A and B are shown apart, each in its own frame.
Chain A
Amino acid sequence: MNQYMLMFSLGPVQPFIEQARKTRDLWLGSFLLSKLMESAMKHVKELGGKFVFPSNQDVKDEDEYANLPNKYIAIFADATTAEKAAGESKKEICAFWNALRDDVRNEIVQWYADEETARIWERQSDPDTYFEIRWIVVEGDPVNYEEWLQLTEEVFEARKRLHNFQQREEPGEKSTISGERQALSRASNGDVPDRWQVIAFWKTLATREGHPNSEHYRSLSAKEISLDGSERLDAIDTIKRFATQSELIGKRSFPSTSSIATASFVEGLLSSKLDRADLQAWLTATRGSLRDVPDAATEAIPFLATKAEKTRSDREILRRDGDCYFRATFTPRRLEKDYGIDKEDARTRAKEGESGLERLLRATDGAGIRRPTPYYAVLKMDGDQMGKLLGSAGSFPGHKKLSDALSEFTRAIVPNLVHNNYPGRLVYAGGDDVLALAPLARNLPNDSTDWSNMIKTVIDLAYHLQNDYRDRINGALEIQQWNATASISIAIAHHFAPLSYVLGVMRRAERQLAKKRYDRNALVVSVIRRSGAQTQVGCRWKYETLQDADVQPITLFSRFYDFFEQGVLSPKCAHILLEEAPVLVGLRLDAQISEIRRVILRQRNEVKKSNLSDKDADELARQLAQLAKAMDDEHGFTNKSIRLEDDEPHHGLVEVLGWLLVMVFLTRKEED
């Protein structure tokens, strides 16, 4: 007997998540979508629906990352109930959103709002016009499940080809985050330019100057929103930024880009036995508003929270933002603007902070901990060809089994890797997608001995993620007619780089390079330097023509990372070879090997010669050339560039040498 498959999705995903200035906006955007989907799925089972995907329909609150996809699939006995379930889902989404937006408005905006503010708020945050809710119900025979699912997927894709929308005109000053909706403000006073009025409005909202209940409602912190009116938000940005003010979300914290960048340094700090006086000098210099107020801030990076002993000083370290490890923070202007320190105190505090930090860094230098890097990584993983993968499940139980495997991957395996084995932080892990922030590489004192089984770099983390995804998903496939793979895009950026720009680079690299140029099952890394210059490299996880596992890209590049990190090989090695690359690519394989070997030996640290023998150098040169050849053979690019900076497919050797440059960057031996 025929049944009815309901496919339901909630959007817009990309703008809702990526219109973000702070990591907190990114994470809350993602988390809110998960909470909205949780509401959407609330009544599906009560209405007799059988979920096919996702396997779990609740947000795992304690892990504090978004873990529900923006789409669900359920099967119903009749079309009317399926249609009703879609209607209920939409109703629940609106109910949750309306309660949330009321909470945020009451807490943040209402006391200073006038009728114009209310009009803007309603126009922008009305769920009927803001959200893109699409659904289809397709009749089918469960006996031909594969065909039925394929048809449903195709019609759903077709439905999504029409991005229907309602008109909304947005006059006046625009939000500094979205740039497309009017910033919240009061009715215009014709005498003063719009921008000044909006700045004054946001300054008042942030400082709460003149709040009728000033005892209870103190100024918002400069970490939450700029106190000088330089952040002017629209209704959607405001709801995302202050969603934690609602009990529906609750108080939670998320690390800043600086805290992510410095997480490895902090790990080193927590693992070392520094002179207490050196640490205390820095802790004292970073007291007051430089110390994050919410106690929950110490839990923002779970790995560090676990690592921190329950001593007061360890917990105190975690209450500081990563900014406190950079000299650039300790200027009167920054302290005033970002930490709300009074103008009179700012100069003294800046001097105090600078000397406290200098003392701490001298102490960590002595312990062999590298100075903190201002660069961090954003990692996005996406399962390849999900539609085909689900189609290959063949039956309802098979599909369910795959959904269970995906759920286990995102709810157990991913957090274990990102939160327990690396000082990273998940933004989202649901369906076949993962989005995480992570420091570039570990940074432990000289006397640390437990390096062997450790995930050392963000590249290593990416490798483990895709490997575990493949193992878990392929294990769930009853018939091995499909090989599940995943592609990952990593963007490495300065902690001051605008987050929405970094996310855009990462997303474009995933789509244009990982999925298209390298044809999936690939890793792409984009290094966005402070100057704006970019280095992009990519490779497949595995090259079939290479028999020797040591020549596979991640294994080989990781070996180079170790040599650079331990000071066995000079970073110059990568630069010299890249300069020579235009000539090298035209040489025979044996000539290439010979020259690469010569450069490696020349750039070898003679003091650490025992770690890299002549024979090792020979082997490394051969392996690099072999990998380059495998890339050329398997990628099959017709027009190959000899310059790494070209936005074109590269010669295999240029790509391989570009990877060495990325490894050097991860060690931060090359100051930017």
Chain B
Amino acid sequence: MRMFLEPTEPLLFRTGRSFDAGESSFADTLFPPTPETLQGAVRAAIATHWDTSKTLEEVFLEQELINLIGSRGFGYGRFRITGLALGKRKDDKTIERLFRPPAHLLIIKDAQSNEQHLMLLKPRQRKGVISDLGRGANYLVPEYEGEIEREPFENWLTESGLEKVLHNDTRLSKDEIVPEKDIFRRESRLGIGMDNATKTIREGFLYQTQVIRMQPDFGFVVDIRLSKSNISPDLPYRESFMDDTQTQQELKLPQHGWIMLGGERRTARFEIFPSLASSLEQVKLGRLLYLATPAAFDSGWQPLPSFASPLAAAINRYQSIGGWELNPSNSGGTNKIMRRCVPAGSIYFFEEPVSATQPLTGYGMEIGYGIIYTGEWKQ
């Protein structure tokens, strides 16, 4: 089941810094929201629509719901997020997913002709080079003739654009590249705390927030599956899902509805679509792994010990992801553990083909961490 969340208000996705009245007067926003934020919003929306005559606190006492989506302190039940991306509603009303660019994609500008083109980096050993990575390490050095300037590729890619890049093809059409400014804008909001008793402003309570205003037709795409009930833990991840045509019905979700998203409970409209068979999601062997969402590993940047050892990797600085464990009975809660995550867009190169049968992460596999797609770098 695919859920498209289309914001109707500017959004605030808080960082880990406190934003308490009279203490801290500024709240910055993240973008895109982390898997923690999106899973929380979606599960809360499912619970809200489960029985509209009850409060959230009351519905989370129902065992049937807890079995499906879990609850605070009881895991995620049978709920699984299998895809997280930005999305755009196209003219034909279908939804196109957008992905972070892979970290091994560069823009190359010829210094003489000023012509620009894209280049994919490949791992290579360099004779006469030693580094803190040890002897015999592979390096992602651009290979070119003549004088060039290079810069990171920072636009987002459509699904077909991403597939091309993951398969060594940099001939992207204009439609396959989406600049960030077409997706959202940052805005500032200024406010002041009020004294409810006297209806006057409170001294020292002026505050500012940064918010994200999504451009019309842009939003978030969440792919949701439910695992079969009472399955053996040995069953391969993808085989553990129940038939997707039943997901929406099981979750009692209407075709359209409203969802609260991010800080200050901003609204978005959701719409359910059937999950389409996507070439990206098909289990294929490949010598390259792309992380579509952040992943947290006990060993830092290195994938799980049970996984093949990469030849090289293109990884931007780690992203710290935590969150807030909301208590459904009041607005309180507690801080979640903050982990250093390998950011979305990271690439691992392998000598031999590997397959992506399940998310690659040591934490949060059920809620959209570590979603991977395979590709190729050799040829």
Give me the interface of A with B, judged by CB distance under 8 Å: 2, 12, 79, 82-83, 86, 133-140, 154-155, 157-159, 161-182, 193-194, 230, 232, 331, 333-334, 337, 385, 496-498, 500-501, 504, 516, 530-534, 647-648
Contact = CB atoms under 8 A, between A and B. Distances in A.
A134 B131 contact: yes
B301 interface: yes
Given A166-B300, A500-B28, 15 more contacts: A140-B128, A155-B139, A161-B121, A162-B312, A163-B301, A164-B133, A167-B339, A171-B335, A179-B16, A180-B16, A194-B335, A230-B24, A501-B26, A532-B188, A533-B188
A496 B17 CA distance: 17
A331 B203 contact: yes
Given A164-B315, A179-B15, A169 B338 contact: yes
List the 8 closest pairs (A to B, CB-CB), nearest first.
Answer: A532-B188, A139-B128, A179-B17, A179-B16, A158-B139, A180-B320, A136-B131, A174-B16
Nearest to B106: A161
28 contacts: A138-B128, A139-B128, A154-B141, A155-B139, A158-B121, A161-B103, A162-B313, A162-B314, A163-B301, A163-B318, A164-B301, A164-B315, A165-B301, A170-B337, A171-B337, A174-B17, A176-B17, A176-B24, A179-B17, A180-B16, A180-B322, A180-B338, A230-B24, A497-B26, A500-B28, A531-B188, A532-B187, A533-B188
Interface stretch (B39-47, B157-165, B291-299): B291-299
Contact of A83 (B104, B130, B188): B130
B322 A170 contact: yes
Contacts of A181: 338
B314 A174 contact: no
A334 B22 CA distance: 11
Contacts of A137: 129-131
Contacts of A158: 121, 139-141
A176 B23 CA distance: 10
Contacts of A177: 17
B266 interface: no
B316 interface: yes
Given A154-B141, A162-B314, A167 B299 contact: yes
B190 A532 contact: yes
A172 B339 contact: no
Contacts of B28: 498, 500-501, 504
B130 A174 contact: no
Nearest to B16: A179
A195 to B, nearest CB: 8
A137 B131 CA distance: 6
Interface in B85-130: 103-104, 121, 126-130
Contact of B300 (A165, A179, A337, A500): A165
A430 B17 CA distance: 31
Interface in B4-33: 15-18, 23-26, 28
A501 to B, nearest CB: 6
Nearest to A132: B317
A175 B187 CA distance: 25
Contacts of A83: 130
Contacts of B185: 647
Interface in B326-373: 332, 334-335, 337-340
B199 interface: no
Contacts of B187: 532
Q: For B15, B23, B181, which residue has the most chain A Cβ atoms within 10 angstroms?
A: B23
B208 interface: yes
A531 B338 contact: no
B132 interface: yes
Contact of A136 (B23, B130, B299, B337): B130
Nearest to A166: B300
B339 A169 contact: yes
Residue of B24, B127, B335 with most partner-chain A CB within 10 A = B335
Contacts of A154: 141-142
A313 B335 CA distance: 51
B256 interface: no
Given A158-B140, A331-B203, A164 B300 contact: yes
B171 interface: no
B189 interface: yes
Contacts of B16: 174, 178-180
A73 to B, nearest CB: 14
A172 B149 CA distance: 45
A33 to B, nearest CB: 16
A230 B133 CA distance: 42
Contacts of A530: 190
B315 A163 contact: yes
B204 interface: yes
Nearest to A228: B23
Contacts of A12: 317
Nearest to A154: B141
